[in-house]
Chains A and B, each alone.
Chain A
Amino acid sequence: MNIFRLIGDLSHLFAIIILLLKIWKTRSCAGISGRSQILFALVFCTRYLDLFTHYISLYNSLMKIFYLTSSFGTIYLMFFKFKATYDRNHDTFRVEFLLIPSAVLALLINHEFDVLEILWTFSIYLESVAILPQLFMVSKTGEAESITSHYLFALGAYRGFYILNWIYRYYSEGFYDLIAILAGIVQTVLYCDFFYLYITKVLKGQKFSLPA
């Protein structure tokens, strides 16, 4: 564990909590992509199967359990409890365009041809693009509530900090995982446009809206 990874994990944790609180406090999931949330739940399910096979640390297990339960909690709030507020007309990104390439790529490019390993690889590829339905939704409506933009910023920052962690681990331990690194770079790059608008608008107290 190093400081970059810790900040990354906490940023991820913070993003999930912001989203849950936003939905809970406003009793509404308007502006949130249910499709991205389902993809994230699938990412956690396929990645954290090792919760039952490999023990790493208490921290590691607790975080995995939190990510899994919170992602199902979010889905429950969106698709059941506050279903009426779900903006499904704007949430139309075709997720098969993300699922199928991630699955094919996981079968082709992996560290080992083994069920758990392929599922882990699939989760890494899918996570890198899972935010696209959400970004697509924001681009369709042209704006986002500031709380949603804080959520997106924390979620994007998480993988960015992981990149710093991988650089650190490469120099300090000689450890590197090319699959995670390349997917993590793709994931972070997808947020760049959003980061730019967040910094130039939201942090100056303006509403998050796309340039006309």
Chain B
Amino acid sequence: NRNTRLHDEL
């Protein structure tokens, strides 16, 4: 899941 690696949270 690429989403988990593109950390969009702070």
Chain A residues packing against B (C-beta within 8 Å): 5, 9, 12, 47, 50, 54, 56-57, 60, 63-64, 67, 111-112, 117, 120, 162, 165, 175, 177, 180
Contacts and interface: CB of A to CB of B under 8 A. Distances in A.
Interface in B1-10: 3-10
Contacts of A111: 4-5
24 contacts: A5-B9, A9-B10, A12-B10, A47-B7, A50-B7, A56-B6, A56-B8, A57-B8, A60-B8, A60-B10, A63-B10, A64-B10, A67-B10, A111-B4, A111-B5, A117-B5, A120-B7, A162-B9, A165-B9, A175-B3, A175-B4, A177-B4, A177-B7, A180-B9
Ordered nearest first, which 3 A-B pairs have the shortest CB separation?
Answer: A56-B8, A177-B4, A63-B10
A189 to B, nearest CB: 19
The prevalent SS among residues of A at the interface is helix
Contacts, number: 26
Interface of B: 3-10
A50 B10 CA distance: 11
Nearest to A175: B3
B5 to A, nearest CB: 6
Nearest to A166: B9
A120 B6 CA distance: 11
Contacts of A5: 9
Nearest to B8: A56
B3 to A, nearest CB: 6
Contacts of A117: 5
Contacts of A177: 4, 7
A43 to B, nearest CB: 11
Contact of B6 (A54, A63, A64): A54
Contacts of B9: 5, 162, 165, 180
